[in-house]
Structure 1
Amino acid sequence: PGPNNLMLMASGANYGFARTIPHMLGISIGFIFMVVLVGLGLSQLFDAWPLTYTLLKGASIGYLTWLAWKIATAGQPKPGGTSGRPFTFLQAAAFQWVNPKAWTMALTAISAYAPDNSTRSIILVALIFGATNLPSVSIWVIAGREIRRFLTSPARLTAFNWTMAALLLASLLPVLTH
């Protein structure tokens, strides 16, 4: 699983399904937007200015490390689950631009399924992601919500949050080795 899935599972566990809906929608719509822009030529930026790839990689590593820390140190929710908040729609949509897995998926999908770079092919790829993304990410939130039943003690919730943070950091291994 990539950063989106791990963050959604942690959000489902910490905030529940309903409060995580904006996060899920932000991922889905933000990624569709990314796929379209990559298909329309944004990926050529990396060819024209290779330093942009290095800068994006550094920003991704830094931001995901910060997010992992925020997840690991999230406190025990107050009664009624009102403490803290999950990502907003805009935060989740913007996150796609520093998510290394989102970049990899967008670049690979466009090169594999829209090699002619026709607008029609690009839109088709984006629509397929749109149709499959929301149901897919919902599963991770539901899994987190169900895990929440077992996180009734502060020690269990802390262990869960640290585990999610460690897995988020582990998702950076492919980025760090290339």
Structure 2
Amino acid sequence: MDYLYSLILFAVVSSATPGPNNILVMTSGLNFGIKKSLPVLCGICVGFSFMLLLVGLGFGQVFELFPRLHVLIKISGVLYLLYLAWLISSSSGGLGAKQQSEPLTFLNGALFQWVNAKAWVVATGAIAAFTVSGGEFSTQTITLAGTFLVISFPCVGIWLYFGSWLKRYLNNAAHRKWFNLSMSGLLVASVLPVIGELFEQFS
């Protein structure tokens, strides 16, 4: 039972703390509202749990055999995150739906996990901390992925609700534009450690 309590606490902290997923969801909530942002919320929660399951069941061993593949994924992830930051910063500050781009889809949220640096850190850390080698490893991995699936919805959903709540107060186009720019800056800041790591590898 202590194991389950510790796992739940880890899942809550990992899912609720600021990161690319939550910034993305909060910005979507502000610009498009809760209903239109539900697909990307579901994509993030389901996508990360599926990623965690695959990593735990041996996908991480592929990177040990082909380390360059991991580097390529990191580079792709950085470029994609920077692209998303640009989309957020260039999003219209107006309230008219026609002035804004379309909200991200379920597939966007799910695939985003594979290029999300924080998602990789949490996934590998969770596997290392909450599984042991042996016959129960697969069961523990499935339990781990299932726990994150259940916990992530309310934890990430809070950020979506907060973004939607802010919509009531940021009804000024200039204010919404500054909010989008701030969220874009935070997203870029979350990528900087990965960029630094890549520079060290190639220097």
TM-score (norm 1): 0.94
- The answer (yes or no) to whether the contact 1:63–1:98 under 8 Å persists in 2 is yes
Of the candidates 171, 174, 178, which is equivalent to residue 152 of structure 1?
Answer: 171
The aligned amino acid for 1:95 is F
Counterpart residue type for residue 121 of structure 1: Q
Moved over 4 A (4+): none
CA distance in 1, matches of 2:139, 2:94: 47
Q: 1:59-106: CA deviations, max 9, x gaps?
A: 111000000000000013454x45432211111111111111111111
Percent sequence identity over matched residues? 40
Q: How does 1:23-62 map to 2 (within 5 A)?
A: 23-62=40-79
Provide the C-alpha distance between the structure 2 equivalents of 1:109 and 1:27, rounded to a whole number of angstroms. 17
Distance 2:95 2:163 in 1: 18
Which sits farther off after the overlay, 43-52 or 133-142?
Answer: 43-52
Q: Which residue of 1 aligns with 2:5?
A: none
Query: Where in structure 1 are there 5+ consecutive unaligned residues?
Result: none
Preserved contact between residue 89 and residue 181 of structure 2 (Cα < 8 Å): yes
* Structure 2 match to 1:142: 161
**Aligned runs of 1:100-119 on 2, under 5 Å?**
100-116=117-133, 118-119=137-138
The answer to whether the 8 A contact 1:77-1:84 is kept is: no
Q: How large is the Cα RMSD of the aligned pairs?
A: 1.3
| Residue 18 of structure 1 pairs with residue 35 of structure 2 | yes
Contact 1:150 1:156 in 2 (8 A): no
- Partners in 2 of 1:46 and 1:174 — Cα distance? 20
Structure 2 unaligned regions, length at least 5: 1-17, 198-203
**Is the contact between residue 72 and residue 162 of structure 1 (CA under 8 Å) also seen in structure 2?**
yes
Distance 1:123 1:162 in 2: 39
Q: Which amino acid aligns with 2:156?
A: V
Q: Is the 8 A contact 2:94 2:172 kept in 1?
A: no
> What CA distance in whole angstroms lies between the structure 1 residues aligned with 2:57 and 2:126?
13
The answer to whether the Cα contact below 8 Å between 2:93 and 2:175 also exists between their aligned partners in 1 is no
Distance 1:165 1:63 in 2: 13
Task: Give the match for residue 20 of structure 2.
Answer: 3
Q: Secondary structure at the match of 2:168?
A: helix
Q: Is the Cα contact below 8 Å between 1:61 and 1:172 reproduced in 2?
A: yes
Residues 27-50 of structure 1 deviation map (CA, whole Å, 9 limit, x = unaligned): 111111101100110111121111
After TM superposition, give the deviation of residue 19 of structure 1 in Å: 0.8
Compute the displacement of 1:24 (Å). 0.7
2:185 corresponds to which of 166, 172, 175:
166
| 1:165 positional shift | 0.2
1:85 & 1:116 partners in 2: Cα distance?
A: 45
CA contact (8 A) 1:3 1:101 kept: yes
In the superposition, the TM-score normalised over structure 2's length comes to 0.83
Distance 1:57 1:64 in 2: 10
